[in-house]
Amino acid sequence: MSIQEQVTQVHSLYDTILILDFGSQYSHLIARRIREFGVYCEMLPCTQKIKGLQFEPRGVILSGSPYSVYDKDAPRVDPEIFNLGVPILGICYGLQEIAWNHGGSVAPCNNREYGHALMKVDKHQGHPFVDRLFDGIEDSIQVWMSHGDQLDKAPEGFKVIGHTLTAPFSAIAHEEKHLFGIQFHPEVTHTPLGKEILKNFVINICECKTNWTMKSFIDNEIARIQQIIGPNGQVVGAVSGGVDSTVAARLMKEAIGDRFHAILVDNGLMRLNECETVKKNLGDHLGINLKVVDASEIFLDRLKGVTDPEKKRKIIGNTFIEVFESEALKIDQETKETGHCRIEYLLQGTLYPDVIESVSFKGPSATIKTHHNVGGLLEDMKLKLIEPLRELFKDEVRELGKTLKLDDELIWRHPFPGPGIAIRILGEVTPSQVAIVRAADHIYIDEIKKAGLYRKISQAYAALLPVKAVGVMGDKRTYEQVITLRAVETVDFMTADWYSFPYDVLKKISNRIINEVKGVNRVVYDISSKPPATIEL
Ligand SMILES: Nc1ncnc2c1ncn2[C@@H]1O[C@H](COP(=O)(O)OP(=O)(O)OP(=O)(O)O)[C@@H](O)[C@H]1O
Ligand SMILES: O=c1[nH]c(=O)c2[nH+]cn([C@@H]3O[C@H](COP(=O)(O)O)[C@@H](O)[C@H]3O)c2[nH]1
Ligand SMILES: NC(=O)CC[C@H](N)C(=O)O
Ligand SMILES: [Mg+2]
């Protein structure tokens, strides 16, 4: 079977929901919820032309957006979508966009709704289709809203299927055209019955089959990679030993075999003995021959005198790419005789949270942190990126890892950021500061493991604060640095709570760090949740 045929087969095996993304912070959550039902979905930019679609969706969802439909430069859906003849659900901006396209009126409202609201469900006897969206929901529901505009008139032919005290057209539907619009966000957990509503749309209204699984994601991704890379293409891979890049590498290996060249860059900012351990693990478990490139001097040299964490990330991101580009040239030379093409692609294990926090859709959503692998890339980089996990959340990648039969230890490894210890030293990064963090972190993680808490905590690390404090050791005054410990619990790393440690474990950790790590006389524990803090510093 040709690759094109394999791709087409995906769409014949699985019913597809098309999500058109207007740039909401929650667009990917919609995709994630739908995949949880076992239904395949694809998310494309809202500018997608219907003529150019390579598949026939069973239904379409229009996401929310930071824009207002009446803005001059507001993103617009291709009106052809309304001639597809499949059910369409608009969420927030999506609702407003449906109304806008059908002669409804949308305007800024006096009673903006941000947060919880109670929506009264309006049923319509004799119009069975419009009632399907809120099937199983009686009377009223708790919903989560985030809008400053609202409909002040329902478009012609639409029925009102829900209203709140201040928004009379919170939910509308068209019996014959199978169009639905809701002002609230069903994709966030703050709408407790949101999942049921999405399920009603996807399964009861669009009648999608629920046969999509992680196994099919894998097959689909492998086919896609083969199609992109071609029969002779080669790929260089950024592989850190973390679960994301390991899963990505595993898919790539499966897709193109030895034409995949995995590289671990030792940037001098890794944890104790990390490079050796990772090389061994990936070789032993996955048969991936990992080349470790020692570039620690260049990285540490470029970080001299730099204290701003964003600058550190950019320097590290850029230097990573330089190393990969120079390694790719070396591999091109070495494989010249094989008939394989020159390396065009760089594989990265980028996940959705890396993307959403680093870049913004057409500008307005805020950049939180430039993850080195997204916003920290070289502007004129020659290698093109291939990122099979770019749409997934961490827990989905772990699920994928399980399906790929990766070792539990690897799947449940705490994430470790690419810029590593550099962003865990507030202030200048020097070899002696790196050594302090490395030693403290090693003790911290060791004690967490000994206490049997490693799997309960989602991510833990030690970091160095840029301050000194007075202490007394062996009757002598000390004036040394402060280690801060962080441990969080989270599912998707988008929000997180600090971990509530048993005191005796903290006591032991603090004691060991102060005794064993020279240059430290205090240990503090970070009790900030995300938001408003972030997981890293
Ligand atoms: N030292 C490194 N050498 C090569 N590539 C790296 C290195 N550190 C990070 N990367 C690349 O940057 C990507 C993002 O890093 P990140 O730490 O988010 O993911 P990960 O290391 O694969 O998984 P985890 O989040 O579990 O640590 C990685 O997937 C990998 O492609
Ligand atoms: O590869 C990475 N490069 C980065 O620049 C980076 N910054 C944060 N992280 C990791 O992302 C997750 C969320 O972290 P934050 O709450 O600090 O944004 C956590 O798991 C962080 O460890 C990074 N990973
Ligand atoms: N969350 C949204 O989609 C908001 C849509 C629009 N910007 C409003 O404020 O109403
Ligand atoms: Mg990592």
To the question of domain 214-412 being in CATH 3.50.50.60, the answer is no
Atom number of ligand 3 nearest to Cα 67? 7
List the chain domain ranges.
15-205, 214-412, 431-525
Q: Which residues line ligand 2 (CB under 6 A)?
A: 313, 353, 357, 369, 371-373, 415, 417-419, 459, 493, 530, 534-536
Ligand 3 site-directed mutation target among 27, 93, 184, most atoms within 8 Å of CB: 93
Six-digit token string for 400: 């994928």
Torsion angle (degrees, nearest 10) of CA 68, 72, 74, 78: 130
Six-digit token string for 25: 């912070």
Q: How far apart are the C-alpha atoms of 434 and 436, rounded to whole Å?
A: 5
Q: Identify whether the C-beta of residue 421 lies closer than 8 Å to the C-beta of residue 312.
A: no
pLDDT in tens, 311-338: 999 999 999 999 999 999 999 999 988 8
Handedness of CA 162, 164, 165, 169 (dihedral sign): negative
Q: What is the pLDDT of residue 531?
A: 75
Q: Identify whether the C-beta of residue 266 lies closer than 8 Å to the C-beta of residue 275.
A: yes
Residue 106's nearest CA partner among 114, 97, 118 is 97
Q: How far apart are the C-alpha atoms of 465 and 441, rounded to whole Å?
A: 14
Residue having the nearest C-alpha atom to atom 5 of ligand 1: 238
Q: What is the pLDDT of residue 370?
A: 64
Q: What is the pLDDT of residue 364?
A: 33
- What length does the chain have? 537
CATH code for the part of the protein at 431-525: 3.30.300.10
Handedness of CA 426, 430, 434, 440 (dihedral sign): negative
Residue having the nearest C-alpha atom to atom 7 of ligand 2: 371
Cα distances from 179 to residues 90, 98, 245, in angstroms, run 8, 8, 40
Q: What is the pLDDT of residue 294?
A: 97
Q: How far apart are the C-alpha atoms of 318 and 414, rounded to whole Å?
A: 25
- Please state the residue numbers annotated as binding site: 240-246
Q: How far apart are the C-alpha atoms of 79 and 100, rounded to whole Å?
A: 11
Confirm or reject: Cβ of 365 under 6 Å from ligand 3.
Answer: no
Query: What are the start-end ranges of the E strands in 50-187?
Result: 59-62, 88-91, 105-121, 140-153, 159-163, 171-174, 179-182
What's the CA-to-centroid distance between 149 and ligand 3, angstroms?
A: 6
Topology of the domain covering 15-205: Rossmann fold (3.40.50)
Cis peptide before 532 (omega within 30 of 0): yes
Assign 146 to helix, strand or coil.
strand
Q: At what angle do helices 214-229 and 394-403 cross, to 10 degrees?
A: 90
Confirm or reject: Cβ of 149 under 6 Å from ligand 3.
Answer: yes
- 407, with CB counted inside 10 A (0-12, 13-18, 19+), is middle
Q: What is the pLDDT of residue 287?
A: 84
Q: Identify whether the C-beta of residue 346 lies closer than 8 Å to the C-beta of residue 235.
A: yes
Q: What is the pLDDT of residue 494?
A: 73
Task: Mark the residues whose beta carbon lies below 5 A from ion ligand 4.
Answer: 240, 242, 416
Confirm or reject: Cβ of 387 under 6 Å from ligand 3.
Answer: no
Confirm or reject: Cβ of 419 under 6 Å from ligand 1.
Answer: no
Residue 18's nearest CA partner among 117, 87, 121 is 87
Q: What is the pLDDT of residue 284?
A: 81
Active-site residue numbers? 92, 185, 187
* Residues 6+ positions from 220 with CB-CB distance below 8 Å: 7, 10
Q: What is the pLDDT of residue 159?
A: 96
pTM confidence score: 0.77
Q: How far apart are the C-alpha atoms of 286 and 282, rounded to whole Å?
A: 5
Confirm or reject: Cβ of 364 under 6 Å from ligand 3.
Answer: no
Q: What is the pLDDT of residue 467?
A: 94
Q: Identify whether the C-beta of residue 303 lies closer than 8 Å to the C-beta of residue 312.
A: yes
Q: What is the pLDDT of residue 365?
A: 38
Q: Identify whether the C-beta of residue 290 lies closer than 8 Å to the C-beta of residue 264.
A: yes
Q: Identify whether the C-beta of residue 434 lies closer than 8 Å to the C-beta of residue 419.
A: no
Residue 355's nearest CA partner among 341, 339, 371 is 371
Q: How far apart are the C-alpha atoms of 321 and 377, rounded to whole Å?
A: 7
Q: Distance between the two ends of the chain, CA-based, in angstroms? A: 50
Q: How far apart are the C-alpha atoms of 349 and 221, rounded to whole Å?
A: 13
Assign 409 to helix, strand or coil.
helix
Q: What is the pLDDT of residue 286?
A: 81
Ligand 2 site-directed mutation target among 351, 359, 371, 413, most atoms within 8 Å of CB: 371
Instruction: Report ipTM (2 d.p.).
Output: 0.89
* pLDDT under 50: residue ranges of the chain: 1-3, 359-367
> Which residues on neighbouring strands pair with residue 313, listed in sequence order?
none
Q: Identify whether the C-beta of residue 143 lies closer than 8 Å to the C-beta of residue 184.
A: yes
Query: What are the start-end ranges of the E strands in 122-230?
Result: 140-153, 159-163, 171-174, 179-182
Confirm or reject: Cβ of 146 under 6 Å from ligand 3.
Answer: yes
Q: How far apart are the C-alpha atoms of 213 and 296, rounded to whole Å?
A: 41
- Please state the residue numbers annotated as binding site for ATP: 240-246
Q: How far apart are the C-alpha atoms of 255 and 291, rounded to whole Å?
A: 19
Six-digit token string for 504: 């005796």
Q: Identify whether the C-beta of residue 233 lies closer than 8 Å to the C-beta of residue 340.
A: yes
- 384-386 and 476-489 strand pairing: unpaired
Q: What is the pLDDT of residue 25?
A: 80
Assign 114 to helix, strand or coil.
strand
Q: How far apart are the C-alpha atoms of 408 and 395, rounded to whole Å?
A: 13
Mark out the alpha helices in 14-60 (DSSP H runs). 27-36
- 270, with CB counted inside 10 A (0-12, 13-18, 19+), is buried
Same fold, 214-412 and 431-525: no
What's the CA-to-centroid distance between 17 and ligand 3, angstroms?
A: 22
Judged by its nearest atom, the ligand closest to the C-alpha of residue 108 is 3
What's the CA-to-centroid distance between 218 and ligand 3, angstroms?
A: 35
